[in-house]
Amino acid sequence: MNAVVIAVVVMLVLSLCRVNVVFALIIGALFGGIVGGLGVNATVGAFSAGVGGGADIALSYALLGGFAVAISHAGLPKWLVENLLKVVGREGDSRRKALSKTLIIFVIFVTACFSQNVIPIHIAFIPLLIPPLLYIMNELQLDRRLIACVLTFGLTAPYILLPVGFGQLFQQILVDNISKNGLNIEIADIAAPMLIPVAGMFLGLLFAVFISYRKPRQYNSSTSAKEEEKEGYQMWGVIFSIVAIFVTMIVQIATDSMVFGAISGIAVLYVSRSISWRQSDALFTKGMQMMAFIGFTMIAASGFAEVLEQTGDIEKLVHNAANLIGNHQSIGALLLLVVGLLVTMGIGSSFSTIPIIASIFVPLSLELDFSPIATICIVGTAAALGDAGSPASDSTLGPTAGLNADLQHNHIWDSCVPTFLHYNIPLILFGWLAAMIL
């Protein structure tokens, strides 16, 4: 058996059985390493060597959690909830309630899309925007699985399609690796073939909005949330919270570091006396606890990915798929996309997957006589496939971190499974269709 398949299947089965994702990644890596011939000691060594790759992002998310709690204490969420409740109303008619739901979904959708291209801060906005909205979502009985789908679409589709912000980074990595493996292309060549797979994602989003999760869903509004709503706030704190958010965005974009962005925002809150030094330790501890799950999962995912690479079975998986393909383009496109899904589901990052699969996918696609734009579509779609539904992807971990602030949103069943069904399945279907017609 192939080590990649074994590791990913073990990790996914354990996750679906509600085993903690971090434990599932560690156990999956152990199984994969042993099946791949590394042995226990070498597997542990590879995993330990890989975890360092997730340290920076884990620290970034921890500081962002602290920043989010500091913003909350300064009064911005209370102000936001108070003003949104005026729009929503507590006993409003059904039409007003529907308009309020539409407004919240639209604001989250636009913010998520902008976070990839217009203001490239990725998931940094989630702990700031989503937890304050949970009380209102509960009042409206808005299904959080729908919000997870909206967030994940905004975190993935724009960078796949548009060469701006994170899209510039994704498409440049795609160009560099495809060109290095025998097919000279430019960034301008990518948007057109990737439009078809992204259209599949958009149809999945519409299905989630209007069919899957349109019915009301009950959540408990915690006592603490109600009490916080009653507490007052000072406009001074609200104003400097907004200033701190903009400073964080600007510094993060300028330095390409979420760590220094979060530190800059926190400094603004300190200097403006929106929060006091005496409160800082408790606030940051609470914030880091809120984001600890995503940080530890990313660290474990880095170790998991290192074990898979050390086994060498990613290449074997592709070569085995090539032996099954023969000269059949339709079978070839489908198998390559499935292999990309398996690899990305395990690694959890489309950006990190591209160099791994491009070295094998490009020569194989050319051998099967796929056109250059069909090859771009196959490699780009295969790399992006697992990002939406992977338990180790920040495109699912980010939404969970925000939606589970009151412990009523399960990472696997409420984030990963819904996004997998509504995005990965359409991506395979529309990616395969694009490869056939382009």
Q: What sign does the CA torsion over 277, 282, 285, 289 have?
A: negative
Report the distance separating Cα 371 and Cα 388, nearest Å: 27
CA angle 209, 297, 314 (to 5 degrees): 90
Least confident interval from 20-29, 146-155, 261-270, 349-358: 349-358
pLDDT value, residue 231: 54
* Whether residue 386 has pLDDT greater than 80: no
Between 127 and 417, the higher pLDDT residue: 417
Between 400 and 269, the higher pLDDT residue: 400
Mean per-residue pLDDT, 114-122: 75
Q: Please, are residues 131 and 72 in contact by the beta-carbon 8 Å criterion?
A: yes
Mean per-residue pLDDT, 118-140: 79
* Domain extent at residue 368: 3-437
* Whether residue 376 has pLDDT greater than 70: yes
Q: Please, are residues 166 and 436 in contact by the beta-carbon 8 Å criterion?
A: no
* Whether residue 217 has pLDDT greater than 90: yes
* Whether residue 284 has pLDDT greater than 80: no
Q: Please, are residues 222 and 406 in contact by the beta-carbon 8 Å criterion?
A: yes
Model confidence at 331, pLDDT cuts 50, 70, 90, reads confident
| Main-chain dihedrals φ then ψ at residue 217, nearest 5 degrees | -135, 130
The 3-state DSSP class for residue 219 equals coil
CA count, 13 A, side-chain hemisphere, 291:
29
* Whether residue 204 has pLDDT greater than 90: yes
pTM over 0.85? The answer is: no
* Nearest CA among 76, 29, 36, 79 for reference residue 54: 29
Model confidence at 226, pLDDT cuts 50, 70, 90, reads low
Q: Which residues have C-beta within 8 Å of that of residue 272, sequence separation ≥ 6?
A: 236, 240, 243, 244
Between 87 and 370, the higher pLDDT residue: 370
The percent helix, strand, coil of the chain (3-state, each to 5) is 80, 0, 20
Give the total number of structural domains in the chain: 1
* Whether residue 232 has pLDDT greater than 60: no
Between 222 and 63, the higher pLDDT residue: 63
pLDDT value, residue 221: 72
Report the distance separating Cα 397 and Cα 411, nearest Å: 7
- 66-75, 101-110, 251-260: which is most confident: 101-110
Q: How far is CA 434 from CA 203, 228, 378, in A?
A: 15, 51, 8
* Whether residue 287 has pLDDT greater than 80: no
pLDDT above 70: percentage of residues in the chain: 90
Report the distance separating Cα 90 and Cα 97, nearest Å: 9
* Whether residue 71 has pLDDT greater than 90: no
Mean per-residue pLDDT, 189-196: 90
Between 40 and 227, the higher pLDDT residue: 40
Mean per-residue pLDDT, 13-24: 85
Query: Average per-residue pLDDT in the chain?
Result: 82
* Whether residue 227 has pLDDT greater than 60: no
pLDDT value, residue 377: 92
